[in-house]
Amino acid sequence: MSEIQTFLAAHRDRFMGELFEFLRIPSVSARSEHDSDTRRSAEWLADRLRDAGLSAEIMETPKHPVVLGEWKEAGPDAPTLLIYGHYDVQPPEPLEEWTSPPFEPEIRDGRIYARGSADDKGQLFMHVKALEAHLNIHGTLPLNVVVVAEGEEEIGSPNLVPFVEQFRDRLAADVVVISDSGMFDEGLPALLFSLRGLAYCEIHVTAARSDLHSGAYGGAVPNPGMALARMLATLHDAHGRIAIDGFYDDVLAWDEETREAIRDLPFDEEKFLAGVGAPALSGEEGFSTLERLWIRPTCEVNGLLSGYTGEGAKTVLPARAMAKVSFRLVPDQKPGRVAELLRTHLEKVAPEGVRVQVVELHGGEPWRANPSGPLFEAASTALEEAFGTKPVLMGEGGSIPIVGDFEKVLGAPVLLVGFSLPGCNMHAPDEWLTVDNFQTGIASLTRLYEELAESLSG
């Protein structure tokens, strides 16, 4: 066994116990009733960074704090690595679909089930433990390290860019590493070449002043629920394309080489469909499933609410209806412009007699990388050594809006190295991370720090 493996084996139970503590804190950033939990999560993380051997500060923002960890003892001439992650989690609902409660972590069949196990507490914590392991084994790190852990990723990171801009000197780094994504498959690690952006809106449709009796008023008073459905139905055409004027204006066509590389990946569509459990897949005509997921934009209903939704038959004509609608964006789409196009479109198609309001909840820009060069090589080497397989290049359908911002503000390239697996239920009930990837991931990260140091110093 290598030194790192010996160390991990010796501290395995303690690491897992600590991870469980972290996962037990319901740091749901979107819910104000969890604000104190979110803060507790930040404080807990800062304590663990200090235990690992870094200094740590809770940095206030207008909402949830940033945890800033630092280790600068490699000296002013050594390169600096910035590790970014987030300690906040998605809301756990619907609770009844969890096999075990979302904030009571449980290991079943080699998987750690809990909200945040994969996204992103588990992966952020792997960095904390990799830093601790390296410092314990070697008494030092091969480069300076800054850890930025925010508590607002799941609500669109409203305060992170101002934070990074304010502290740009203190956060100056040569490379940024983020572990908030996944591997291509079990045993097959991956490096990311693209992320989709996001424009997330709420649509509010109103008509009557209050809910009315659907018998006494039905047929003559506009129904916001029906009006909303009619409006949502205009968002796609019959070919699965988004039917909003100008929506595709800023969509870059990907080169044939990238599309070819995507087609060459060992993607098992039947297994994917079986994992999803739907009767069939669907989407934009003319694109494969992985293309639909990685390099094409989407328009999805994330939530619908109108009228009476409880048990039984309430004959109500609703006064209002609400839809949460979000778009995944690809280069060079801009969230603000997409929200504006949606607003214009809905004004055009709104049925008579209803009011329509579009609220932009949050947005993030899409990102693509040039997947080559010494840093990519360094990451590839570290992953190959730990997992025994060369990583593949893949896109990611989700959004990590801060990636592009780090590149812009700090001028440092970003490496996306993640350890969750397909089907890990991020943002859904029964979220999980495998115990194996937690262990092997920590080992690969200690190796990654060394490879990056070597590459940047060379």
Binding residue for its own copies, selected from 209, 255, 260, 370, defined by CB under 8 A? 209
* Closest-CA residue to 122 (of 181, 210, 192, 209): 181
In sequence order, what DSSP letters do the residues of 10-59 get, joined into one string? HHHHHHHHHHHHHHHS--BTT-GGGHHHHHHHHHHHHHHHHHHT-EEEEE
Interaction of residue 253 with its own copies, rule CB under 8 A: no
Q: Which residues fall within 8 angstroms of residue 398, CB to CB, at 6 or more apart?
A: 181, 195, 196, 328, 426
Residue 347 is inside which H or E element, if any? helix 335-349
User: Cβ closer to its own copies: 75 or 94?
Assistant: 94
Binding residue for its own copies, selected from 221, 243, 265, 392, defined by CB under 8 A? 221
Stretch in the footprint of its own copies (CB under 8 A) among 101-109, 346-354, 374-382, 445-453: 346-354
Interaction of residue 284 with its own copies, rule CB under 8 A: yes
* Closest-CA residue to 120 (of 78, 145, 84): 84
Interaction of residue 190 with its own copies, rule CB under 8 A: no
User: Cβ closer to its own copies: 293 or 452?
Assistant: 293
Interaction of residue 271 with its own copies, rule CB under 8 A: no
Interaction of residue 225 with its own copies, rule CB under 8 A: yes
User: Cβ closer to its own copies: 131 or 195?
Assistant: 195
Helix, strand, or coil (residue 155): helix
Binding residue for its own copies, selected from 67, 114, 190, 198, defined by CB under 8 A? 198
Stretch in the footprint of its own copies (CB under 8 A) among 9-17, 59-67, 71-79, 272-280: 272-280
End-to-end CA distance of the chain: 29
Residues 270 and 249: their CA atoms lie apart, in Å, by 33
Binding track over 347-386 against its own copies, x by CB under 8 A: ----xxxxx-----xx------------------------
Q: In the numeric block, which tokens belong to residue 395?
A: 């896109």
Stretch in the footprint of its own copies (CB under 8 A) among 10-18, 30-38, 139-147, 376-384: 30-38
User: Cβ closer to its own copies: 114 or 412?
Assistant: 114
Stretch in the footprint of its own copies (CB under 8 A) among 102-110, 132-140, 317-325, 440-448: 317-325
Interaction of residue 208 with its own copies, rule CB under 8 A: yes
CA dihedral 294, 295, 296, 302 (to 10 degrees): 30
Residues 76-105 that bind its own copies (CB under 8 A): 90-91, 93-94, 97
Report the nearest approach of its own copies to the CB of residue 433 (Å). Answer: 14
Interaction of residue 62 with its own copies, rule CB under 8 A: no
Binding residue for its own copies, selected from 232, 346, 383, 394, defined by CB under 8 A? 232
Binding residue for its own copies, selected from 107, 226, 392, 435, defined by CB under 8 A? 226
Binding residue for its own copies, selected from 76, 215, 266, 458, defined by CB under 8 A? 215
* Closest-CA residue to 88 (of 177, 159, 140, 174): 159
Helix, strand, or coil (residue 180): coil
Helix, strand, or coil (residue 250): coil
Residues 389-448 that bind its own copies (CB under 8 A): 396-399, 425-430
Strands 66-71 and 367-368 turn out to be unpaired
Report the nearest approach of its own copies to the CB of residue 251 (Å). Answer: 13
Interaction of residue 228 with its own copies, rule CB under 8 A: yes
Q: Which residues fall within 8 angstroms of residue 288, CB to CB, at 6 or more apart?
A: 262, 263
| Cβ-contact 177, 415 below 8 angstroms | yes
* Closest-CA residue to 300 (of 397, 368, 402): 397
User: Cβ closer to its own copies: 30 or 261?
Assistant: 30
| Cβ-contact 332, 197 below 8 angstroms | no
Binding residue for its own copies, selected from 9, 58, 95, 281, defined by CB under 8 A? 281
Stretch in the footprint of its own copies (CB under 8 A) among 106-114, 194-202, 257-265, 434-442: 194-202
Residues 145-184 that bind its own copies (CB under 8 A): 154-156, 182
Report the nearest approach of its own copies to the CB of residue 132 (Å). Answer: 30
Count residues binding its own copies (CB under 8 A). Answer: 102
- For residue 53, give Cα distances in angstroms to 46, 75, 145, 433: 11, 16, 11, 26
Interaction of residue 314 with its own copies, rule CB under 8 A: yes
Q: In the numeric block, which tokens belong to residue 209?
A: 């002043």
Q: In the numeric block, which tokens belong to residue 304?
A: 């619908």
Interaction of residue 313 with its own copies, rule CB under 8 A: yes
Binding residue for its own copies, selected from 38, 123, 306, 455, defined by CB under 8 A? 306
Interaction of residue 200 with its own copies, rule CB under 8 A: yes
Q: Which residues fall within 8 angstroms of residue 134, CB to CB, at 6 or more apart?
A: 4, 140, 141, 142, 446, 449
CA dihedral for 61, 66, 67, 71, sign (positive or negative): negative
Binding residue for its own copies, selected from 20, 44, 217, 248, defined by CB under 8 A? 217
* Closest-CA residue to 147 (of 129, 165, 166): 129
